[in-house]
Structure 1
Amino acid sequence: MTGALADIRVVEMGQLLAGPFCGQLLGDMGADVIKIEPPGAGDPMRLWGQGDDKVQWEVIGRNKRSVTCNLRVAEGQDLARRLIGKADVLVENFKPGTLEKWDLSPAELHRENPGLIIARMSGYGQDGPYSDRAGFGGIGEAMGGWRYIVGEPDRPPSRMGLSIGDTLCATYGCMGILAALHHRESTGEGQIIDTALYEAVLQVMEGLIPEYDHNGIIRERSGSILPGIAPSNVYQCKDGPFMIGANKDEIFARLARAMGQPELATDERYATHLARGRNQTELDALVNDWTSQHTIEEVDAAMIAHSIPAGRVYRAPDMLADPHFRARDAIVEVETERHGKVKMQNAFPKLSKTPSGIFRPAPAEPGQHNAEVYGELLGIDGAERGRLADSGII
């Protein structure tokens, strides 16, 4: 393993999305991520995704070593405690109180490993009146304000087609881990990072709270637009949709020239940001009337020529065919153990000195690295591993 975190060992506990995505981010940066899975089927993420062959696991399981451990029994808990004692970071996304029930509380773990950083991800956080409630990403999106504002105004709240609540929570958890590692460098102290699904979503809600508090405005669903930000929308060309963002004064003036209607830039209805916001609907109609007379290729060329932020509305095939994606290695082909060569998004962000990457494919089976990890790290020999396996511990 290489990368900025190549000297960091992470134990990942928990299932489904938030904890495993945080582990993926750390692994992409080079950390040695040891994923604890329950004996047998392993993490349910192994069965997630669309199509007959479930390949989502190949992304979220990459750069990890898998060991099995039955955390519901005392011997399994002791095994996990020993493993965590060798780690720099523990990532977990169980319901609050679960670690404590298993005698793996932060206080207990810090007694044995005072430099341990413990990232805890849950629906509502580790304290507060809702902390003992079950929580999924979609609930965090709803309570954090995301779901209410997504969709068309005349329809019920919608979703964006991805588990954004989980991945936001994981990303903030990863950010907290990096900050805690920096703190540990100067103090030697570990600490606890408490991330809640709903609070992670709340963090990206921009002005939603102060707009209500100060102006009494409740944001509503607005479909494909942001109210008052115009023109910035998906417009229809002869052969499909195309995104244009020209809401800044000078950029709008360039768009007006590209449309062959330079007078729009000085029209009092559209000359300023506030005026365009007030007349957003009719302005969008004007832009759409123009784009509908041209192909995507023609509109794209005009936007490039006039230096206007714009882009095609991509699906997966478009991404795979795009030369810019290829030039930046945004998508890479990985030789997986279960499915052969699979294309997936590359590690991100890009670091110039300690580049991230995909250093190992996702483990094909739960416990694939039991011998490697338990043997080398904890000194458990083959006979003892056999006994643990026969007992259902690993």
Structure 2
Amino acid sequence: MADEPTPGALEGIRVVEIASGGAVAYAGLLLAQSGAEVIRIEPPGGDAIRRAGPFPDDQFALDGGGLHRLLNGGKRSVALDITSEAGARFAGKLVASSQLLIANWQTPSASPLPLADSEAMAELFPDTIYVSISPFGRTGPYADRKADSLVIESAAGMSYVSGKPDREPMSSGVEVAEYYGAATAWIAGLAALADKQAGTDHHFVDVSMHECLSAADDHNLPVYIGTGAIRRRYYSRVLIIYPSDSLPVKDGYVAFVLAGFDVGGMIAELIEEPEQATNPIVANGQDRLLNWQEFDKIVEPWMTSHTKEEVLRRSDEIGLAFADVATTEDLVNDPHLAERSYWQTLPDGGLVPGPSVRFSETPMRVAPPPDLGEGTAELLELDGPTAALLWRGEA
């Protein structure tokens, strides 16, 4: 007889996720990987995440989209139109049975379920902690403002310091605000659960993606708070250290940060020019910072004559902080991630990232995403025909 799987850390916790964007979906994924039962309430026609490709063989399929497979693993799916009386009633039944509700609902809607009103939700569902993840939080003059990650990065000051000094500000190119907000919501939801179990009457958690990202700036905020100075754009670098940059090598780029003692000797050893150990432009941090073009000219011949693998192997031996500027293909084939079993293969052969957190006694879980509405009849305790009517909005 096969051993029973070890229960997850959140075994016995039910979470309802109102499908409403990437931050909510990723927070739900983290909870599902932690062992919680996560029930995703989504529109009968599927939400935007299901409709985002790529799709196998370029054929649209609500259950096969790349983003859906990435963000919805291990969840259950209930298809409901929560703007209808019947849909809201059944959604409320699920919320009442859960310990956590996660949603991104900024403003009042036509739904009879008052997701935009935290006080009304607390009155309706006193035993359920409501975790809201929104662009700017649920209060303040920006509370109703629509935003995506690019807008939030700009509003949080990150874009202002990213890019070349004589060009427009740049964004990160990925949905960093969504994932910061989701990870914060995961932690906040767990803290609220622990607080409620300790006896505190906990109902509402307000997560602002804007504030999550604003708090992540450990270089510019201290400078402004301490001196009143506003850092300008300077090649997306940390201004007090050089190099803190990407430099070309024979087959791509490596990221390179110099900090610590005797870096002159280490750089001289790396580029196989011992005489450079006493060159101030190599050995002295301030001289490197002020004469960065000259520093680049010194190291560039050696760097561009060696591959990424050669540079990284040599830098590891010496103890310098280098990293590959990786493509997605590099990540999928990374030997470090392979040894840690980060990439996981689903039963259908598809590849997905594994959990980025590991518990020693209660393993995180990876599972396939649900088909649209697969749990509607079971979780709402309905017969098939009634579930079908509800799905079509006719119940």
With structure 1 as the length reference, what TM-score do the two structures score?
0.88
Structure 1 segment 184-333 matched on structure 2, within 5 A: 184-187=196-199, 189-223=201-235, 225-333=237-345
In the alignment, does 2:358 pair up with 1:356?
A: no
Look up the match of 1:141.
Answer: 153
In the alignment, does 2:93 pair up with 1:88?
A: no
Distance 1:252 1:217 in 2: 30
Structure 2 unmatched ranges of 5 or more: 60-64
Change (3 A) 1:196 1:150: same
Return 178-187 or 1-10, whichever deviates more.
1-10
Look up the match of 1:156.
Answer: 168
For the residue of structure 1 that corresponds to 2:66, the secondary structure is coil
For the residue of structure 1 that corresponds to 2:350, the secondary structure is strand
Look up the match of 2:128.
Answer: 116
Look up the match of 2:181.
Answer: 169
Change (3 A) 1:267 1:389: closer
Change (3 A) 1:357 1:162: same
Give 2:49's aligned amino acid: M
Are the counterparts in 1 of residues 355 and 364 from structure 2 also a CA contact under 8 Å? yes
Give 1:84's aligned amino acid: V
Instruction: Choose the corresponding residue for 1:389, options 377, 388, 391.
Output: 391
The Cα of 1:118 is off from its aligned counterpart by 0.9
For the residue of structure 2 that corresponds to 1:44, the secondary structure is coil
Change (3 A) 1:50 1:251: farther
Structure 1 unmatched ranges of 5 or more: none
Change (3 A) 1:164 1:297: closer
Give 2:96's aligned amino acid: G
In the alignment, does 2:71 pair up with 1:60?
A: yes
Distance 1:207 1:39 in 2: 46
For the residue of structure 1 that corresponds to 2:77, the secondary structure is strand
The Cα of 1:352 is off from its aligned counterpart by 0.8
Look up the match of 1:72.
Answer: 83
Aligned residue pairs total 382
Distance 1:62 1:268 in 2: 54
Are the counterparts in 2 of residues 249 and 273 from structure 1 also a CA contact under 8 Å? no
For the residue of structure 2 that corresponds to 1:341, the secondary structure is coil
The Cα of 1:384 is off from its aligned counterpart by 3.6
Look up the match of 1:38.
Answer: 43
For the residue of structure 2 that corresponds to 1:249, the secondary structure is coil
Return 25-34 or 134-143, whichever deviates more.
134-143
Are the counterparts in 2 of residues 18 and 169 from structure 1 also a CA contact under 8 Å? yes
The Cα of 1:108 is off from its aligned counterpart by 3.4
Let me know the Cα RMSD of the aligned residues: 2.4
Are the counterparts in 2 of residues 228 and 276 from structure 1 also a CA contact under 8 Å? no
Are the counterparts in 1 of residues 247 and 254 from structure 2 also a CA contact under 8 Å? yes
The Cα of 1:211 is off from its aligned counterpart by 1.6
Return 154-163 or 42-51, whichever deviates more.
42-51
The Cα of 1:316 is off from its aligned counterpart by 2.2
Q: What's the CA shift string for 1:27-75, capped at 9, x where partnerless?
A: 11111110000112x1111122457364121011111101011111222
For the residue of structure 1 that corresponds to 2:351, the secondary structure is strand
Instruction: Choose the corresponding residue for 1:371, options 368, 374, 377.
Output: 377
Distance 1:32 1:251 in 2: 51
Q: What's the CA shift string for 1:145-194, capped at 9, x where partnerless?
A: 12222222222122222111111111111111111112112115323111
Q: What's the CA shift string for 1:227-266, capped at 9, x where partnerless?
A: 2212232222222212232322244532322223345444
Distance 1:252 1:50 in 2: 48
Identity percentage over the alignment? 28
With structure 2 as the length reference, what TM-score do the two structures score?
0.88
For the residue of structure 1 that corresponds to 2:344, the secondary structure is strand
